[in-house]
Amino acid sequence: MTERPIVELTEITKIYEGKVMHRALNLLSFEAMEGEFVAIMGPSGSGKTTLLNLISSIDLPTYGQIIIDGIEPEKLPENKLALFRRHNLGFIFQEINLLNTLTVEENIVLPLTLDGFSLEEMERRLGNLSERLDLAEILDKRPDELSGGQAQRTAIGRALVHQPKIILADEPTGNLDSKSAKDVLELLSEVNETMRTTIVMVTHDPIAASYCDRVLFIKDGAFFNEIYKDERRQTFFQRILNVLSLLGGHSHELSSVRLP
């Protein structure tokens, strides 16, 4: 693993103005190295999704600096920003968000058609991906004919087809049964290992987080803790649970926490 940070957030603050002012992130700094698989965890409302939106440049911070792959998205004009997103980032959502009117293969090549790729190139990439993601048999199906796991694999295919440097995943296993979730996570870590794609994943699920290299915990928009993976996934999982139990409770309850 090279030690070059590909995502750099420095003292990010995000305030939502409105009838009630809401400080979603407060002086949070975060880095992800090239080829790293990072999970971001935290209770509901802790600012996980805001953080992900900031990295994906569909939202801009109130204060602080964001650098992604050496580029400051904030300084790009609107159109360039969209293209930057399209070429450098891949997205995976909890709601999967496939376009219902398109078949699996069409959903996957959609980002390429927008860029006017040649048909041969599109078919080549589609062939590669469908083999790797085990999609070959369902290429002609529509999203509503797919199981949850198949749909999420399709979405991963769509995120990967541009060969992005970073994949941003928002609760990718949130709507899946445990078997499909396991498949998807194994697929993501395989992609991470073989293609050296950086993955930043927001999740609630400690099992999902245990597939990562590192887990960042945030609470109320600020840094809370950070742990790195160790030899065995099982022990890493236990340590994640430990932090979570601290994270979930209030300070006066801390003493009563008993680890299983």
Partner 1 sequence: MNFRQFAYRNVVRNRRIYAAFFMASVFSVMVFFLYSMLLFHPSIEDRFVQEIAIIGMGVAEIVLYIFTLFFLFYSMRAFLQARSKEFGILLHLGMKKGQLNRLIFIETMLIGIAAIGIGTALGFTFSKFFLMVVREVVSLPALPLYLSWKPFVLTISAFLSLFTIISYIAPVFIRTGKVVDLLRGDGNEKGNYGYSKLRGYVGLFFLGLSYAMAAFTSNSTVISLFIFLPPLATIGTYYFFTDSVPLILHSLRKQRWLFWRRYRLFTISEGIVWLRENARMFFIVTIVSTLAFMSVGTLASLTSFASQYREMNPLGLVYISEESNRFEQAHIVELLTELEEEELDYELTVFTILRQRSSFSGGLVDILRQSDVNMLAHTLGYPPLHLEKGKALFLPPSISSYKSLNARVVNTVLEESEVAIRIDGAYPHQLFAANSVGTNAIVLNDADFELALVRDKSESANLYRYYAFHIPEWQKTKEIGVAIDASLTETFIKGNSNSLPYSFDNPGLNYSIIRTTFSLLLLTGLLLAVVFFLAAGSFIYFRLYTRLDQDRKQFDILRRLGLTDREFKKIVNQQLIPQFFFPWGVAMLHSSFAFLSLQVIWDALAEISIVKELVIVLTGFTMMQLFYFYLIRWRYLAHIRTPR
Q: Are 56 and 11 in contact (CB under 8 A)?
A: no
Least separation in angstroms between residue 106's CB and partner 1 is 6
Residues 6+ apart with CB under 8 A from 31: 5, 7, 8, 9
Q: Give the C-alpha separation, 238 to 80, whole Å.
A: 43
Residue 57 or residue 192: which is nearer to partner 1 going by CB?
57
Residue 85 or residue 153: which is nearer to partner 1 going by CB?
85
Burial (Cβ within 10 Å: 0-12, 13-18, ≥19) of residue 222: middle
Residues that bind partner 1 (CB under 8 A): 56, 58, 78-79, 82-87, 89, 91, 97, 99-102, 106, 109-111, 113-114, 116, 119, 122-123, 142, 144-145, 158
Residue 133 or residue 240: which is nearer to partner 1 going by CB?
133
Q: Are 33 and 198 in contact (CB under 8 A)?
A: yes
Residue 159 or residue 243: which is nearer to partner 1 going by CB?
159
Tokens representing 19? Answer: 């009838």
Least separation in angstroms between residue 164's CB and partner 1 is 10
Least separation in angstroms between residue 234's CB and partner 1 is 35
Residue 91 or residue 211: which is nearer to partner 1 going by CB?
91
User: Phi, psi (5° rounding) for residue 216?
Assistant: -105, 130
Closest CA to 64 of 50, 83, 77: 50
Least separation in angstroms between residue 175's CB and partner 1 is 15
Q: Give the C-alpha separation, 115 to 221, whole Å.
A: 36
What angle separates helix 148-160 from helix 178-195, to the nearest 10 degrees?
Answer: 20
Least separation in angstroms between residue 226's CB and partner 1 is 27
Residue 123 or residue 186: which is nearer to partner 1 going by CB?
123
Residues 6+ apart with CB under 8 A from 222: 25, 26, 27, 28
Q: Are 108 and 152 in contact (CB under 8 A)?
A: no
Least separation in angstroms between residue 90's CB and partner 1 is 9
Least separation in angstroms between residue 201's CB and partner 1 is 16
Q: Give the C-alpha separation, 116 to 105, whole Å.
A: 16
Least separation in angstroms between residue 7's CB and partner 1 is 17
Residue 166 or residue 240: which is nearer to partner 1 going by CB?
166
Residue 69 or residue 220: which is nearer to partner 1 going by CB?
69
